[in-house]
Amino acid sequence: MSEPVVELKGVHSGYNTISVIRGIDLIVNPGEVVALLGANGAGKTTTLRTISGIVPISEGTLTVMGTPILKNRPWLVARRGVSHVPEERGLFFQLTVKENLILGARRGKPDYDRVFHYFPALAKLSNRKAGLLSGGEQQMLATARAAISGSKLIMVDEMSLGLAPIIVERLLPVLKQVAVDTGAGILLVEQHIELALEVADRGYVLSKGVIDRTDTAEALLRDRHLLEQSYLGEIVI
């Protein structure tokens, strides 16, 4: 089997003296969609920021595409092929859709045909400023920018934030298709856990900075207790 696009072993990380992530092991393989689930404050965003090199690791190892990342080096992680779509989407609001895509392309011009193949709705918006797009269109653009960047790992934090579930229902399968077409691994943080598990291959459940459970998406979807707790905003295994 080919090497994981990302592997965390016994990783501890946090903010200043506050330890948030406490010894997690996590793997994403090429072409795989992995959901990272957990209650508010469990440490999901911190995990993505740790992989991106924004939050320092105090213990454990992070390996990206077979290269150990020894220090906080966000630029090195990005250069190894990691794209991170943060909750706030990270768009340049004063720039057009096309200009945002140009900034996302790793080298040369972006492959617009591919963008519009995955996200046909962006074609007619290509000269509109990102700040004038609807929430769903902005999420589409942020996802498209990551999807065409040639990334080996695409991390998407709370795609559904501020969006109607129907929009997320349409966008998530596109991410899955990107994984199938390009072999990129996808790591998804999503509050709508049923939607996430419908496209994911596997899932991890994070609780207070510790991985409580990992299983196939199918098995997690069958767990009524997990789903019910998630609706109450509290995942307790």
Ligand X SMILES: Nc1ncnc2c1ncn2[C@@H]1O[C@H](COP(=O)(O)OP(=O)(O)OP(=O)(O)O)[C@@H](O)[C@H]1O
In the set 18, 71, 107, 166, which binds ligand X (CB under 6 A)?
A: 18
40 binds ligand X (CB under 6 A): yes
Length in residues, the chain:
237
Measured from the CB atom, is 44 or 152 closer to ligand X?
A: 44
Task: Name residues contacting ligand X, limited to 75-94 (CB under 6 A).
Answer: none
Instruction: Single out the residue of 6, 8, 20, 187 in contact with ligand X (rule: CB under 6 A).
Output: 20
Q: Which of 43, 53, 81, 203 touches ligand X (CB under 6 A)?
A: 43
| Min CB(191)–ligand X separation in Å | 7
15 near ligand X (CB under 6 A)? yes
Q: How far is the CB of 96 from ligand X (least distance, A)?
A: 30
Q: What is the CA radius of gyration of the chain?
A: 17
**At its nearest, how many Å lie between ligand X and the CB of residue 41?**
4
Among 10, 41, 66, 165, binds ligand X (CB under 6 A): 41
Whose Cβ is closer to ligand X: residue 43's or residue 81's? 43
Choices 37-45, 99-107, 197-205, 219-227 (CB under 6 A): range interacting with ligand X: 37-45
185 touching ligand X, by CB under 6 A: no
- The answer to whether residue 96 forms part of the interface with ligand X (CB under 6 A) is no
Whether the CB-CB separation of 58 and 13 falls below 8 Å is answered with yes
Number of residues that bind ligand X (CB under 6 A): 11
46 binds ligand X (CB under 6 A): yes
Q: Which residue has the tokens 């419908």?
A: 198
Minimum CB separation from ligand X for residue 107, in Å? Answer: 32
219: how many CB neighbours lie within 10 A of its CB? 14
Q: Does 195 bind ligand X (CB under 6 A)?
A: no
The residues, any chain, with a CB within 8 Å of residue 120's CB and separated by 6 or more, are none
- Binding-site ranges for ligand X (CB under 6 A): 15, 18, 20, 38, 40-46
